[in-house]
Structure 1
Amino acid sequence: MPEGGVPQVASATAQPLSLEPPMALLPRDHCILAFNERVMAWARREDVPLLERLRYLCIVSSNLDEFFEVRAAPHITAVNSLAQGVYNAQDGLALLHKAQDLVARQYALYNDALIPAFDAAGIRIVNHKDRTAAQRKWVHKHFRQAVKPLLVPVALDPAHPFPQVANKSLNMVVRLKGGDAFGRANEVAIVKLSRALPRLMQLPASICGKKRLFVSLSSMVRAHISELFDGREVVEAVQFRVTRNTELLVEEDEVDDLRTALREELAYRQFGQAVRLEVGSNCSEFLASTLQQEFDVPSQALFRVQGPVNLVRLSELIDLVNEPAMLFTPWQGSWPRQLKPAVKIMAQMRKQDVLIHQPFEQFDAVLELLREAVYDPAVVAIKQTIYRTGVKSQLIELLAQAVRMGKEVMAVVELKARFDEEANINWADALEAVGAQVVYGVVGLKTHAKMLLITRREGRGLRRYGHLSTGNYNPKTARMYTDLSYLTCDTVLTADMDAVFRHLASPNVKPRLDKLVMAPFALQHSMLTHLEACKQAALKGEYARVVVKTNAMTDEDLIHALIDAGQAGVKIDLIVRGACMLPPQVPRVTDNIRVRSIIGRFLEHSRVFYFAWGDSQEHVYLSSADWMRRNMTRRVELAWPVQEPKLRQRVIDECLVAYLHDNRDAWTQQPDGSYLPPAQPQDGDGVQNALMHLYST
């Protein structure tokens, strides 16, 4: 075993098999739902502060929203038509059944555990029937003054068809009795609740006794909805929400202006194919079938929920309560240990490469590097990729300032970053307006690589300063995601970065790179080559070890190469936060492969690839890419080697060894795709807590 390597797994003796055909892999979409099971477990944990438990429950709802928006449309289409093919009806039915079960348990947890816990703490979302006379008076007054003016009821008839219902918007469907002003018996009406209205409102302390009471928007509207239908009897009023397919259909090679085409397509995203219908559990069969027919969703995609149809918006309660005892202790990462405060970062980079482990160390150092470059008169050029930076971005403001300071600025803006398209279009507009060179990468590929390159005039020549990262240039998520930033003046590595930027600006030929490994040209091939080297070493009886930390493991070529290497005797550990299609620990097939998933306070996001074989070969890569087919073949991604011995060992110790020894927050994947939770989750110290302790001392 090479010095400084990672521990081996205890596993069976290798018995290479010839797999004809290759073994069946786990279905990806089921793996995604299994990930949300693990997230929801944190909402169950009584050692987690109460408001944080609610936050995890809301995260599950947010994840499910995205799952249906992005992954469900082919399944819904197949179920509706009983199609057989890539997405057949039985696959879709099984998936929807699993989602129904997950949602049912999610609401059971909300009703049976969280609501009583909040009530015991004096916090309650109070229903109309439980409000006192004073509380009802306040709610009614608020409804008339602040809510009713924004509501437009639409009674359905030939002149008033079903209104457009936007993706994930909150609505009420109403059943009426009697005729309208013209004697017509239009029985169904729709009331759309404006997104400008908060979903939760706090009642004044003077009418709450010793409790902190809140009222939901849907409860308020339902209690007074008869005021919207003068002269009609409201028989039934039920909240509902529709989730729609949000995949954009722009074909880059068929448009002249991608930015304009995307802007036009975004206008229709809110009204795509309906893929899920959520209604209150008390919804009658008549109204449920009316909505189901209108939105053309199968009965299996109708979710009757025991509570708010959008648990995501309950996250408002976290900010409204804002009780420190019910939240995690605030975490403020330390200034990067390799960097001295108040000393120019580029001067320190000239002495050594710098590794920043976020959020345990502050991302602020990266912003400080950019700020230093903007105001340094010797800096002549700044190049930057922009994937997700947030709606408000210091980074964009700094790039604009750099242009005003007379520097050459090139921004590679990925317009197709899912759900960030509009923000990125606006940033592209803003940067072009001040004179920055804005490019959109390569037609047909998303630019997912994260890099910043600064060129500075020094002496008679130029020196480049580079930043590479596993995560986005977003200060907000940098406080919540685990990621690795790498600062370097390495002449070969920074020359490679410059070559990639030139390729993104004008992709005439494949860039020649010496240290960087780039997708879609070489990354998958490089990983397969390293796996093959480990396999050949194992077949010779030599030491061979692979550890991969990634967010998803769904690339079938890489998965089968891992299985092949494991059968040859390579000891393999996979640390996969989300979906993993590789079934581990299958007797005589994947005995040598373990898969674990770490769910913690921070979202695991760093990608680290470790390969070792023989007596001296040890390679560590950091990367922007997950082991997914899209990352390997349909995106511009980068991986780079960590060659400085101390930094390489630090990556091994903090990102691999520590994660392989976590017995508090690590789930172990079983051959059937299920996961075993930590045996004693309240004992010991999870890896994230251990790293927080390490960087706070």
Structure 2
Amino acid sequence: MNRPLPQYVNRDLSWIEFNRRVLQEAQDGTNPLLERAKFLSIVSSNLDEFMSVRMAGIQAQMKAGYTKKDFTGYTPAGLWKRLIKRTSDMVHDQYKTFREVMRSLAKEGICFRDLSELNATQTKAVDDYFYDIVFPVLTPMAVDQSRPFPLLHTKELYLAVLLDKDDMPPDDEPFFAIVQVPSILQRFVAVPVRNGSKKMEFVLLEELIERHINTLFNGYTPIAVHPFRLTRNADLTLNEEGAEDLLEEIEKELRRRRWGIPVRVEYDKGMHPYALQLLKEELELDDNMFEIDGPLDLSFLMRFAGSLPGYDALRYERIEPVYPKEFEHSDDMFAVLRQQDVLCYHPYESFEAVNDFVTDAAHDPDVLAIKMTLYRVSGQSALVQALAMAAEAGKQVTVVVELKARFDEERNIAWARQLEKAGCHVVYGLVGLKTHAKILLVVRREQQMLRRYVHVGTGNYNDNTAKLYTDVGLFTSHPVIGADASALFNEITGYSSPYEWKAFGVAPTDLMDKLFGLIDREKAHAAEGKPARIVAKMNSLSNQEMIDKLYEASQAGVQIELIVRGVCCLRPGVPGRSENIRVVSIVDRFLEHSRIMIFHNGGDEEVYLSSADWMTRNLTRRIELLCPVFDPNLRKVMRNIIEMNLQDNVKSSELTPNGTYLRQKDESQPLRSQFAAKDIARWKNYR
């Protein structure tokens, strides 16, 4: 007799499935070779974050003796064991794929060599590089009674070195030392091209250091040298209510992050047992030790694949974002927006439109105020420069900078200080809540009145990720949206009574209630025998109440189609519970990042864009935004984008009731949504 399927898929096990779909892209022989190498890099970077945050949290629960099951039925200890097994299997497959990709790259003339394979000229060149560039940066760290085990930084590469001495008694333990592989230098070292060869050849930096390890330990004989790498708990623990200055408190926590509790060690296959045992004892780790058959930390492949000149045939065809046609033939963006709303779909349409919007506002003498949220910003942000310029011109500039954006804290602190120096009012949001909403408000004086212009987006105000992520952004001068935007900033920056939103849904106060109301309306239509449909696209779905609400809607007869790139705890296609729910995931060249919701509403369709995934943190612990699209033409554009995703049969995988994903393939009529979207007329065909 078959056991009934559990109601929910565990969040962390679902994440493992997502990272496997990323690995599938590295394994997919139809992808260009250098792009496959990049996907291997992404698998490693994803796993680093998973270990330092999610696994670290489970580890902390176990150490605290927490044994309660989560809503998916797992105790921390039971989940930990399953995750260790599945991540181990995934890493094994990742390195098997790495070897396949490297063999294929070698056939194309891109080779990583063992140092013993180099000819005399090449050997001299890399030796000179070691003595001139690498050696001066290295610091050997001995471990003995007078020199305790050093602080190992998270996600840095180290060499564990065992040493012998001529006068040592044979039964004495070897000397132990650690050498950090300098992250300031590239992991891959180019060697001179052989005579008559067109091949590009490289050696790994850690192997070059190992070759010359004796130069760091005069009088000692190296017995064994093995790379290893530590991952620490990277989650910040902030006392926001007790902090006098949130910025200073976060700076302190960032310094503490270096001392986070060890979570994982990766080590070279065949590592000397003595060195391995010493690491286990010092770091107090046992079951999260990964033996790696290949170079540790494949994240270096991202830079490597992007740095090779002349291999465009091994990369995706370049996509040049086009400037939105609505703005293309006008020097006055505000005049355009008085006539119509404008929707931008990145990366196919250029983020320069957002930069220009703020820059124009900074220069415009009739603009009185600019207000915006910043969550993740690029290193050279034109937006930040424009905001500073506007403040220096005497405009009221208010910027809500989220200092707690994970792993971007230091960059955001630097931007906050720069903006404050320029005269901007910088706000760090509300205590206990991350400000994740993406909104920009410009207040302009026009003919004895004020008009508000708003940009609302699904993605960060970051021109780098706008080239790598799919996101939508809405420009509008709709007065209802403008009024809600002003009210939202008043709530974030000052004291304000609860506001009755005319258009927005705002977390944590009423976003979930608004979504529940929209779902219940579809249920009511289904009960009346009318067509009822919900289509929603997001990054993750893990909130139990939301999943239960969707189950209710499915049981009422509502047809539900979900495009969820990453974690999905909902189990679709289960008779009597979720047979009317379909879940697909698209993993391809660009990271699917947009959040779009469509409710059929008895034929009077409503379309929304949002900053929020349907996760507990987004719905209850963050300031998030759900914004309607009023323009019927733009609603059609959004529907076209969503339908194109749903019809993808090349890079789309469907979630099965048992929690696994099956790739949707149709060789006869293939549709790859991310490539089809290059034809902008295909989805922007409302005229």
**If the TM-score is normalised by the length of the shorter chain, which range does it land in?**
over 0.9
Corresponding position of 2:534: 546
1:143-166 residue CA offsets vs partner (Å, 9 max, x unmatched): 111111111112210111111110
Which whole-Å CA distance do the structure 1 matches of 2:462 and 2:184 have between them?
A: 26
Report if the CA contact (8 A) 1:528-1:561 is conserved.
Answer: yes
TM-score norm. by structure 1 comes to 0.93
- The AA in structure 2 aligned to 1:130 is E
Within 5 Å, give how 1:639-678 maps onto structure 2. Answer: 639-654=626-641, 656-678=642-664
The structural deviation recorded for 1:172 is 0.3
Aligned with residue 607 of structure 2, among 620, 627, 633: 620
1:615-644 residue CA offsets vs partner (Å, 9 max, x unmatched): x44221110111111111000001111122
Which whole-Å CA distance do the structure 2 matches of 1:657 and 1:235 have between them?
A: 61
1:149-192 residue CA offsets vs partner (Å, 9 max, x unmatched): 11111221011111111010010001112279999965211111
Corresponding position of 2:146: 159
Give the total of aligned pairs. Answer: 673
% identical equivalent positions: 38
Which whole-Å CA distance do the structure 1 matches of 2:398 and 2:434 have between them?
A: 17
Report if the CA contact (8 A) 1:200-1:314 is conserved.
Answer: no
1:354-374 residue CA offsets vs partner (Å, 9 max, x unmatched): 111111111111111111111
- The AA in structure 1 aligned to 2:50 is F
The structural deviation recorded for 1:682 is 9.7
TM-score norm. by structure 2 comes to 0.95
Which whole-Å CA distance do the structure 1 matches of 2:467 and 2:378 have between them?
A: 13
Which whole-Å CA distance do the structure 1 matches of 2:668 and 2:251 have between them?
A: 48
- The AA in structure 2 aligned to 1:169 is E
Corresponding position of 1:53: 36
The structural deviation recorded for 1:209 is 3.4
- In 2 relative to 1, CA 181–437 (structure 1 residues): closer, same or farther, beyond 3 Å? farther
Instruction: Check if 1:420 corresponds to 2:413.
Output: no
Corresponding position of 2:91: 103
Aligned with residue 383 of structure 1, among 371, 378, 381: 371
Report if the CA contact (8 A) 2:40-2:301 is conserved.
Answer: no
1:25-57 residue CA offsets vs partner (Å, 9 max, x unmatched): 111011111111111111112221111110111
Instruction: Check if 1:320 corresponds to 2:307.
Output: yes
**RMSD, matched Cα:** 2.1
Corresponding position of 2:72: none
Corresponding position of 1:6: none
Corresponding position of 1:218: 206
- In 2 relative to 1, CA 80–308 (structure 1 residues): closer, same or farther, beyond 3 Å? farther
The structural deviation recorded for 1:234 is 0.9
Within 5 Å, give how 1:304-315 maps onto structure 2. Answer: 304-315=291-302
Which whole-Å CA distance do the structure 2 matches of 1:522 and 1:462 have between them?
A: 28
Report if the CA contact (8 A) 2:490-2:496 is conserved.
Answer: no
- The AA in structure 2 aligned to 1:135 is Q
The structural deviation recorded for 1:325 is 1.2
Instruction: Check if 1:89 corresponds to 2:89.
Output: no
Instruction: Check if 1:31 corresponds to 2:14.
Output: yes
- The AA in structure 1 aligned to 2:302 is S
1:241-273 residue CA offsets vs partner (Å, 9 max, x unmatched): 101111111121111100011011111212211
1:477-509 residue CA offsets vs partner (Å, 9 max, x unmatched): 101111111011111111110111111111442
- In 2 relative to 1, CA 224–496 (structure 1 residues): closer, same or farther, beyond 3 Å? same
Corresponding position of 1:434: 422
Corresponding position of 1:190: 178
Which whole-Å CA distance do the structure 1 matches of 2:64 and 2:485 have between them?
A: 49
Aligned with residue 452 of structure 1, among 440, 461, 468: 440
Aligned with residue 281 of structure 2, among 273, 281, 293: 293
Within 5 Å, give how 1:585-604 maps onto structure 2. Answer: 585-604=573-592
Does 1 or 2 have the higher relative contact order (CA < 8 Å, sep 6+)?
Answer: 1
Report if the CA contact (8 A) 2:330-2:336 is conserved.
Answer: no
Within 5 Å, give how 1:262-277 maps onto structure 2. Answer: 262-277=250-265
Q: 5+ residue gaps in structure 1?
A: 1-20
1:278-332 residue CA offsets vs partner (Å, 9 max, x unmatched): 0111212322221122112222x11111111110012232133232111111111
- In 2 relative to 1, CA 507–278 (structure 1 residues): closer, same or farther, beyond 3 Å? farther
1:512-535 residue CA offsets vs partner (Å, 9 max, x unmatched): 321111111111111111111211
- In 2 relative to 1, CA 138–695 (structure 1 residues): closer, same or farther, beyond 3 Å? farther
Which whole-Å CA distance do the structure 1 matches of 2:439 and 2:262 have between them?
A: 37
The structural deviation recorded for 1:75 is 2.7
- Which stretch shifts more, 364-373 or 186-195? 186-195
Report if the CA contact (8 A) 2:5-2:658 is conserved.
Answer: no
Instruction: Check if 1:571 corresponds to 2:559.
Output: yes
Corresponding position of 1:119: 106
Within 5 Å, give how 1:356-375 maps onto structure 2. Answer: 356-375=344-363
Aligned with residue 171 of structure 1, among 143, 158, 174: 158
Corresponding position of 2:119: 132
Report if the CA contact (8 A) 1:624-1:637 is conserved.
Answer: yes
- Which stretch shifts more, 561-570 or 131-140? 131-140
1:366-423 residue CA offsets vs partner (Å, 9 max, x unmatched): 1111111111111111111111112221110110001111111000111101111111
Report if the CA contact (8 A) 1:245-1:273 is conserved.
Answer: yes
Instruction: Check if 1:561 corresponds to 2:544.
Output: no
Which whole-Å CA distance do the structure 1 matches of 2:638 and 2:273 have between them?
A: 57
3-state DSSP of counterpart to 1:72: helix
Which whole-Å CA distance do the structure 1 matches of 2:384 and 2:556 have between them?
A: 49
